[in-house]
């Protein structure tokens, strides 16, 4: 599933094409994805100007002139692809329609935004803009890791008394929004914290080190266009490249990249997900 860097990469790719432009025509080609689409979704989108495109956790939110916000989740395999961009950023002509093109937005500029989702785990909803943060998918989310609400004091408080593994706590979207398996593995490696360590037993000093590490990993991944492992593509159809910078994720039995470390990367399963780490570097 795309994590924060992948979703932010898509948002940045869509913003120049969608912000300030109107949806001349919206096509909704099926009644649902993961959940049913809202009633009259095509009619409610058609004719609306996109005022702003923003991100909350792993969700893209398009604020419309109607006072509604289009909430988008990419799911496991969802892609938002741009074609026919008059700004010259995207060189792709409009491709022929594909089987899994479930929602298509024809912009008044001539650009086309296609939501393609073969596995149909994605989602879209329309909600009042002034109540978007109370939507059931957003209301319980923790602070954004790149925002001011995420700092050492917040994480120390979230870890206090917790006997759960630190990796599990960081994946809890109520603690911090948008982190997923890839970037938690990479951040814990850089912070030299083993993923199995109980969160409540990590000192405040180590937590203070972990916060900027998490931010650095996310920023670097965004600048690289995210990580393309299976289905992820940027809005222009290109792959992300951060996977080439992985220190531990997906590198089981390969040499640790820490200078002078002779250990290999290990893998364990935590709550059904693979955790990659170096047993020598991470304590």
- Which residue numbers are catalytic? 2-3, 58, 273
Position of tokens 């002779």? 262
Q: What phi and psi values does residue 103 have, to the nearest 5 degrees?
A: -135, 130
If you write DSSP's letter for every residue of the chain in order, what string do you get?
Answer: ---HHHHHHHHHHHHHHHTT-BEEEEEE-SSBSSSBPPTTHHHHHTT-BEEEEEEETTEEEEEETTSEEEEEE-TTT-EEEEES-TTSS--PPPPPP-TTEEEEEEETTS-EEEEE-SS---EEEEEEGGGGGGSTTTTT----TTSTT-SHHHHHHHHTT--SBHHHHHH-TTTSSS--HHHHHHHHHHTT--TTSBGGGS-HHHHHHHHHHHHHHHHHHHHTT---SSS---TTSPPP-GGGG-SSTT-TTSBP-STT---BEEEEEETTEEEEEETTT--
How many other CB atoms are there within 10 angstroms of residue 22's CB atom?
16
Give residues with Cβ within 8 angstroms of 222, minimum separation 6.
5, 8, 9, 12
Q: What phi and psi values does residue 124 have, to the nearest 5 degrees?
A: -140, 145
């Amino acid at each position: 599933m795309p994590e924060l860097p992948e979703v932010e990469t898509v948002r940045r790719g869509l913003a120049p094409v969608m912000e300030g432009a109107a949806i001349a025509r919206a096509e909704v080609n099926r009644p649902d994805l993961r959940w049913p689409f809202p009633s009259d979704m095509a009619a409610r989108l058609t004719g609306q100007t996109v005022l702003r495109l923003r991100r909350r956790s792993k969700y893209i939110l398009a604020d419309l002139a109607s006072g509604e916000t289009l909430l988008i989740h990419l799911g496991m395999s969802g892609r938002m692809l741009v074609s026919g961009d008059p700004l010259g950023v995207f060189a792709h002509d409009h491709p022929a329609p594909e089987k899994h093109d479930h929602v298509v937005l024809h912009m008044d500029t001539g650009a086309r935004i296609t939501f393609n989702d073969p596995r149909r785990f994605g989602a879209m909803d329309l909600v009042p803009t002034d109540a978007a943060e109370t939507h059931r998918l957003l209301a319980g989310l923790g602070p954004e890791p790149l925002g001011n609400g995420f700092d050492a004091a917040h994480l120390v408080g979230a870890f206090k008394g917790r006997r759960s593994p630190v990796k599990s706590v960081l994946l809890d979207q109520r603690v911090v929004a948008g982190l997923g398996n890839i970037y938690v593995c990479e951040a814990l490696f850089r912070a030299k914290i083993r993923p199995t360590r109980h969160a409540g037993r990590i000192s405040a000093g180590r937590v203070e080190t972990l916060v900027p590490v998490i931010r650095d990993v996310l920023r670097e991944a965004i600048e690289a266009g995210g990580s393309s492992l299976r289905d992820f593509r940027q809005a222009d159809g290109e792959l992300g490249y951060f996977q080439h910078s992985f220190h531990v994720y997906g590198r089981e039995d390969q040499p640790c990249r820490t200078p002078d470390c002779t250990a290999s990367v290990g893998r364990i399963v935590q709550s059904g997900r693979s955790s990659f780490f170096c047993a020598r570097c991470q304590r």
